[in-house]
């Protein structure tokens, strides 16, 4: 019995050895991290087909492949040079049929060569930068769940073909428990035959982890100096990796994002998004793109890293030890969403910084839906964001809940470990972050003259969005006033009167023109003009400065519209804010 027991244990040990260590015989430092199995990983596969007698032999093989890819003559096939793919009527019909499942045009993708050419979207000056030869190497981690085959392997092709071999330690494709047959044996076979030197490794989780825990698992498997995360539908562009590695070599405590180019979800066309944008957020917990503030822009050259308050999430690079030092990701976050703002706030508040690297360009297929399921139909983005707010946003979480009152009584799980992490790292406050990293962020109830609802006492109605989303241009309506615009009440009636005399919300301002009489919500431009208003607290009038007209309303029922009219002091022109702030 004892012998059998011993044999059994040996068997288990051998299985684990095979499972978690990729059997690269040429280099002992290629061992997978010891704690990989703590994240419920299943099989780790694809031992290299080829064996090399020395590291030199291996590198020679890789260099030959890299040079061959670089010198490949121009081809003329579909999608080459990043051009849009044109389909026949028949093909288009098939593409439309598959769109719901794939959430992008898979027929077009299948026509494009796996190693297609794309045009160089970098600023010309990027091509003249000389990086030192000695740079750290990188593990590229790509997690995926139910992704289409061709974009996934095209991601790997672009990485292997456009990263100099001495900097590319490995590409980790981590299957987050997909239930698509073609992502099983086919993928293994493809990887084994295409990259017989083992540069691309395939692993699989043994339960659905969600992208956040999957990325953590991938990071634990990785053994390169730097971690680079990419989505499973990317194409990296020329010279993408050097500027990232150089910046990390210069500065250890930095999290970097390449500039994201767009790969069209319908045509596979590769294009830059025009101009460099950086990240922001909205109080409801979403990431937003925004232009570089003028104060930063004036001192920047086109090749300089650009500080950004937040990142989009998918495409980032960080020194591997630093990633774990500052707490990786929050493993309590499920499936999708929220982790991008979490790592952004955390990095800044805990002593690091976040930068966009304009000379590093990576294309990404932006899709308007997800090809994978959301178990139990939970609002994972909301719950993940609640964790973020509870751990990192201090008293400013009131603004998050102002927009997400539905989450106030939802259970987002235990966050005590993350709070302990914040203490351990001695991170700064969210107020510090807002003041120092994102001073442009508008805080609707701070440093303003008045805020809350804007009520007309005669009708007891308040300015209201009437259920519309203020991301597009909308007229301002009127509706029954909510009791209090504080936490727990819909944000549809919350406005403020800013120090610059705007009547505004987070990003949009009340705007009227001499052509009048309509009052619309438009993006705030900060130039006063059509967006300047003066409120007299005694008389209650709100005057549109340019036209010298008064905010008025035309309804006595339960709802209506506001407009600007000649000032005549009648009751429909009297307004009061919920809160006035003394200066």
Segment 205-264, which members bind ligand UD2 (CB under 6 A)?
210-211, 214, 231-232, 260
CA-CA distance, 491 to 493, in Å (whole number)? 5
Tell me whether residue 210 or residue 239 sits nearer to ligand UD2 (CB atom).
210
- As given in the structure block, the two tokens for residue 459 are 């009708």
Using rule CB under 6 A, residue 272 touches ligand UD2: no
Using rule CB under 5 A, residue 102 touches Mn ion: no
Tell me whether residue 211 or residue 509 sits nearer to ligand UD2 (CB atom).
211
Using rule CB under 6 A, residue 313 touches ligand UD2: yes
Using rule CB under 6 A, residue 336 touches ligand UD2: yes
Tell me whether residue 36 or residue 362 sits nearer to Mn ion (CB atom).
362
- As given in the structure block, the two tokens for residue 429 are 């406050």
CA-CA distance, 522 to 502, in Å (whole number)? 11
Residue 339 interacting partner from ligand UD2, Mn ion, none (CB closer than 5 to 8 Å by kind):
ligand UD2
Residue 214 interacting partner from Mn ion, ligand UD2, none (CB closer than 5 to 8 Å by kind):
ligand UD2
Taking the CB of residue 185, how many other CB atoms lie within 10 A of it? Answer: 10
Taking the CB of residue 519, how many other CB atoms lie within 10 A of it? Answer: 23
Shortest Å, Cβ 95 to Mn ion? 19
Tell me whether residue 168 or residue 211 sits nearer to ligand UD2 (CB atom).
211
Using rule CB under 6 A, residue 342 touches ligand UD2: no
Tell me whether residue 229 or residue 433 sits nearer to Mn ion (CB atom).
229
Interface pattern 356-375 for ligand UD2 (x via CB under 6 A): --------x-----x-x---
What is the DSSP-derived secondary structure letter of residue 206? S
Tell me whether residue 143 or residue 415 sits nearer to ligand UD2 (CB atom).
143
- As given in the structure block, the two tokens for residue 500 are 């610059």
> Which H helix or E strand runs over 306?
strand 306-307
Tell me whether residue 272 or residue 445 sits nearer to ligand UD2 (CB atom).
272
Backbone phi and psi for residue 52, each to the nearest 5 degrees, phi listed first: -120, 145
Three-point CA angle 263, 265, 266, nearest 5°: 120
Q: Considering only 48-56, 89-97, 130-138, 226-234, which stretch makes contact with Mn ion by CB under 5 A?
A: 226-234
CA-CA distance, 573 to 543, in Å (whole number)? 9
Beta bridge partners of 543: 534, 550
What is the DSSP-derived secondary structure letter of residue 370? -
Shortest Å, Cβ 22 to ligand UD2? 20
Tell me whether residue 131 or residue 177 sits nearer to Mn ion (CB atom).
177
Tell me whether residue 234 or residue 427 sits nearer to ligand UD2 (CB atom).
234
Residue 370 interacting partner from ligand UD2, Mn ion, none (CB closer than 5 to 8 Å by kind):
ligand UD2
> How many chain residues bind ligand UD2 (CB under 6 A)?
23
Q: What sign for the dihedral angle of Cα 239, 240, 245, 250?
A: positive
Shortest Å, Cβ 151 to ligand UD2? 9
Using rule CB under 6 A, residue 101 touches ligand UD2: no
Using rule CB under 5 A, residue 231 touches Mn ion: yes
CA-CA distance, 452 to 68, in Å (whole number)? 64
Residue found by looking up tokens 């017989």 in the block: 196
Among 235, 319, 339, 532, binds ligand UD2 (CB under 6 A): 339
Using rule CB under 5 A, residue 261 touches Mn ion: no
- As given in the structure block, the two tokens for residue 116 are 């297609």
Write down the H helix ranges in 49-141: 55-70, 89-102, 106-111
Segment 315-334, which members bind ligand UD2 (CB under 6 A)?
315
Using rule CB under 6 A, residue 147 touches ligand UD2: yes
Using rule CB under 6 A, residue 335 touches ligand UD2: yes
Backbone phi and psi for residue 173, each to the nearest 5 degrees, phi listed first: -100, 115
What is the DSSP-derived secondary structure letter of residue 165? T
Tell me whether residue 234 or residue 421 sits nearer to Mn ion (CB atom).
234
Tell me whether residue 302 or residue 375 sits nearer to ligand UD2 (CB atom).
375
What is the DSSP-derived secondary structure letter of residue 315? S
Tell me whether residue 308 or residue 565 sits nearer to ligand UD2 (CB atom).
308
CA-CA distance, 494 to 442, in Å (whole number)? 13
Shortest Å, Cβ 315 to Mn ion? 9
Taking the CB of residue 470, how many other CB atoms lie within 10 A of it? Answer: 17
- As given in the structure block, the two tokens for residue 224 are 């390169």
Shortest Å, Cβ 282 to Mn ion? 20
CA-CA distance, 213 to 16, in Å (whole number)? 21
Beta bridge partners of 172: 141, 201
Shortest Å, Cβ 413 to ligand UD2? 17
* C-beta separation of 467 from 492 below 8 A: yes
* C-beta separation of 305 from 357 below 8 A: yes
Shortest Å, Cβ 29 to ligand UD2? 27
> How many chain residues bind Mn ion (CB under 5 A)?
1
Residue 315 interacting partner from ligand UD2, Mn ion, none (CB closer than 5 to 8 Å by kind):
ligand UD2
Shortest Å, Cβ 128 to ligand UD2? 28
First CA to last CA distance, the chain: 83
* C-beta separation of 191 from 157 below 8 A: no
Shortest Å, Cβ 211 to ligand UD2? 4
Shortest Å, Cβ 330 to ligand UD2? 11
CA-CA distance, 27 to 137, in Å (whole number)? 15
CA-CA distance, 373 to 371, in Å (whole number)? 7
Binding site for ligand UD2 (CB under 6 A): 143-145, 147, 176, 210-211, 214, 231-232, 260, 312-315, 335-337, 339-340, 364, 370, 372
Binding site for Mn ion (CB under 5 A): 231
């Amino acid at each position: 019995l004892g012998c059998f027991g011993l044999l059994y244990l040996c068997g288990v040990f051998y299985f684990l050895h095979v499972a978690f260590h990729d059997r690269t015989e040429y280099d002992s430092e290629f061992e997978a991290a010891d704690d990989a199995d703590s994240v419920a990983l299943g099989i780790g596969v694809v031992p290299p087909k080829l064996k090399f007698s020395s590291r030199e032999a291996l590198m020679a093989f890789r260099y030959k492949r890299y040079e061959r890819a670089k010198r490949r003559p121009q081809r003329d096939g579909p999608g080459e040079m990043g051009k849009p793919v044109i389909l026949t009527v028949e093909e288009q019909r098939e593409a439309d049929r598959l769109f719901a499942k794939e959430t992008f045009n898979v027929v077009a993708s299948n026509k494009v060569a796996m190693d297609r050419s794309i045009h160089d979207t970098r600023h010309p000056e990027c091509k003249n930068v000389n990086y030192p030869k000695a740079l750290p190497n990188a593990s590229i981690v790509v997690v995926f769940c139910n992704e289409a085959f061709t974009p996934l392997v095209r991601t790997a092709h672009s990485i292997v073909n456009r990263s100099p071999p001495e900097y590319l330690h490995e590409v980790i494709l981590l299957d987050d428990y997909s239930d698509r047959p073609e992502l099983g044996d086919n993928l293994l076979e493809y990887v084994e035959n295409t990259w017989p030197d083992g540069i691309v490794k395939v692993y699989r989780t043994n339960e659905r982890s969600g992208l956040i825990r999957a990325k953590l698992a991938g990071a634990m498997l990785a053994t390169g100096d730097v971690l680079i995360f990419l989505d499973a539908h990317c194409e990296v562009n020329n010279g993408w990796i050097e500027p990232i590695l150089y910046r990390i070599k210069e500065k250890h405590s930095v999290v970097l994002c390449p500039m994201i180019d767009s790969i069209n979800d319908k045509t596979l066309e590769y294009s830059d998004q025009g101009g460099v944008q950086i990240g922001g957020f909205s109080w409801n917990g979403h990431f937003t793109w925004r232009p570089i503030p003028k104060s930063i822009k004036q001192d920047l050259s086109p090749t300089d890293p650009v500080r950004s308050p937040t990142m989009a999430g998918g495409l980032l690079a960080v020194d591997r030890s630093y990633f774990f030092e500052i707490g990786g990701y929050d493993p309590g976050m499920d499936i999708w969403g929220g982790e991008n703002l979490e790592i952004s706030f955390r990095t800044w508040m805990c002593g690091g910084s976040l930068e966009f690297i304009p000379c590093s360009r990576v294309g990404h297929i932006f899709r308007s839906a997800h090809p994978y399921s959301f178990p139990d139909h939970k609002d994972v983005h909301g719950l993940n964001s609640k964790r973020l707010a509870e751990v990192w946003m201090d008293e400013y979480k009131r603004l998050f809940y102002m927009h997400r009152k539905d989450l106030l009584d939802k259970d987002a799980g235990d966050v005590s470990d993350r709070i302990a992490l914040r203490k351990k790292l001695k991170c700064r406050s969210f107020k510090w972050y807002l003041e120092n990293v994102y001073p442009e962020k508008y805080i609707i109830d701070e440093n303003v003259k008045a805020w809350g609802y804007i009520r007309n006492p005669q009708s007891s109605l308040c300015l209201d969005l009437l259920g519309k989303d203020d991301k597009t241009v909308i007229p301002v309506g009127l509706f029954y006033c909510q009791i209090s615009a504080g936490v727990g009440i819909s944000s549809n009636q919350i406005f403020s009167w800013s120090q610059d005399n705007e009547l505004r919300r987070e990003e949009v301002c009340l705007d009227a023109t001499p052509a009048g009489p309509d009052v619309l919500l438009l993006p705030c431009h900060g130039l006063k003009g059509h967006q300047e208003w003066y409120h007299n607290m005694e008389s209650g009038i709100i005057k549109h400065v340019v036209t010298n007209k008064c905010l008025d309303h035309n309804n006595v029922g339960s709802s209506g519209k506001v407009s600007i009219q000649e000032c005549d002091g009648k009751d429909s022109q009297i307004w009061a804010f919920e809160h006035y702030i003394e200066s």
